Amino acid sequence: AAMAAERALAMATCTAPVNIAVIKYWGKRDTDLILPINSSLSVTLHQDQLKTTTTAAASRDFTEDRLWLNGKEADVGHPRVQACLREGERPLPGGVPGDPVSPDAAVPAVRRLARKRRGGGEDTATLSLSYKIHIASENNFPTAAGLASSAAGYACLVSALARLYGLEEELSEVARRGSGSACRSMFGGFVQWQRGERPDGTDSLALQVAPETHWPELRVLVLVVSGEKKPVGSTAGMQTSVETSPLLKHRAEVVVPERLAQMMRHIRDRDFEGFGQLAMRDSNQFHATCLDTFPPIFYLTDVSRHIIALAHRYNAHHGHTKVAYTFDAGPNAVIFALADTVAEFVEVVRRSFPPATNGDQYGNATSYWGRVGGAGDTGTERSPRHRFVRGLPVGSAALSQELVAAVVTEPVPGAVQYILHTQPGPGPQLVDDPSQHLLGADGLPRSHA
Ligand code: DP6
């Protein structure tokens, strides 16, 4: 009877968001457990515009663990995937390396948590923990665009596995083992990753500071910059910074603790002036620590610097902080603004970085600029993935001559590929509709079989 209750195949699908830090994480004190040298704070972006979807399935018929990323089979043995999925190979105090049931695990993987909750035994009425697992994961945005995807990816993996095993506890600690910034994608709105004090990492967790509904006017524009891929990955880059940058040490010890407290107050008060200024300063200091790294690391490009200068001219013209930029380990700009600023600033970006119209089968620049992505856009001129402005609708704005003269200096055609308009959003979501599973009943990817 116990055997009959065992399910042959179980499947769960979740989605998870991207997040953008306004107080940056850069540097680990423990590279294996992924423990940071400073706390960080981020805004979770809305999944209507940017999300990862992951299906996790377990079946008695699967002969090996398998993983597909955007339809292509990938290495399921990757240590960071294993850190989330299984028990890990890390020698543990009092435990045996690779011992699958070692109770001394510093950071439990999803399956270990599941086993613990079931009192160490196999609960035959639910999913067997010995079944192999298939995982399929897809982004709804182009990976090549260089938008942070590992945070959403690992948050989604952990969420889908947790659903599969029926776990309800908070799992930012497990997501952190995939990618540090992933722990912040386990919540919506405004999220702090506490650095924690313990060497075992059990207090290095993400906490929601405020939900996405807290600041309804806040908007986010992702300016996707054309061209090159990032030269140094964040994992390698931050390690070199930890080893060589005295500025990073000072930042982690002195600057970030003060800034974190300030940023929490600005968010609490919905003070855009304070929030924006501090976000820009913290992005700039992060990139300064990259320059202080030896050999130095450069993530900002000429286009990034053009955008920075543009934002400062725009704010100076208005006499206060209307837009704030932040950049991660790549050249794309993320701009924060309040809703009433978006149309005007988007027009300023359009004029400063006129979209390349080369080979535009839809005719002249007027129809492109005037209608596409703007108010009255019927959606018929170009498909959404070709528009210059994507995501949430953007109204049209007429720029005054003074504004154009003061702000739009030396346009750089084609430098910005497109703008994605989004807003703060919720944390990981369960996808109820079984037709949305990325894996078929045979346990293989549906769309890319
Ligand atoms: C610049 O989380 O990608 O985006 O922990 O090594 O996976 P690992 O690094 P990752 O680093 C993100 C760095 C950042 C700043 C931030 O998101 O806080």
Residue-wise pLDDT for 119-167, tens only, equals 655 554 467 788 899 999 999 987 766 676 799 999 999 999 999 988 8
Ligand 1 midpoint to CA 235 (Å): 7
Buried b or exposed e, range 132-154, using 16+ CB within 10 angstroms: bbbbbbbbebeeebbbbbbbbbb
Give the residues across from 193 on adjacent strands: 40, 206
Find out whether 253 and 303 touch, Cβ atoms under 8 Å. Answer: no
More confident residue, 35 or 170: 35
- At 144, the amino acid letter reads A
Task: Kindly list the domain boundaries of the chain, sorted by start residue.
Answer: 8-88+106-116+128-212+432-448, 215-356+387-423
State if residue 234 touches ligand 1 by the CB under 6 angstroms criterion: yes
Residues 6+ apart with CB under 8 A from 359: none
**If pLDDT is split at 50, 70 and 90, which confidence band does 379 have?**
very low
pTM of this prediction? 0.89
Residue 124 confidence (pLDDT): 42
Residue 144 confidence (pLDDT): 62
Q: State mean pLDDT over 274-286.
A: 98
Give phi and psi for 155, each to the nearest 5. Answer: -60, -40
**If pLDDT is split at 50, 70 and 90, which confidence band does 99 have?**
very low
Q: Does domain 215-356+387-423 have CATH number 3.30.70.890?
A: yes
Ligand 1 midpoint to CA 283 (Å): 13
More confident residue, 364 or 111: 111
- According to CATH, what is the number of the domain 8-88+106-116+128-212+432-448? 3.30.230.10
**If pLDDT is split at 50, 70 and 90, which confidence band does 363 have?**
very low
Question: Is 380 a residue whose pLDDT tops 80?
Answer: no
CA–CA distance, 145 with 238 (Å, rounded to integer): 22
Q: In this structure, what token pair is assigned to residue 414?
A: 């084609």
CB-CB neighbours of 52 under 10 Å: 30
State if residue 152 touches ligand 1 by the CB under 6 angstroms criterion: no
Question: Is 448 a residue whose pLDDT tops 90?
Answer: no
Q: From the alpha carbon of 181, which atom of ligand 1 is closest?
A: 2
- Judged by DSSP in three states, 195 sits in coil
Question: Is 331 a residue whose pLDDT tops 90?
Answer: yes
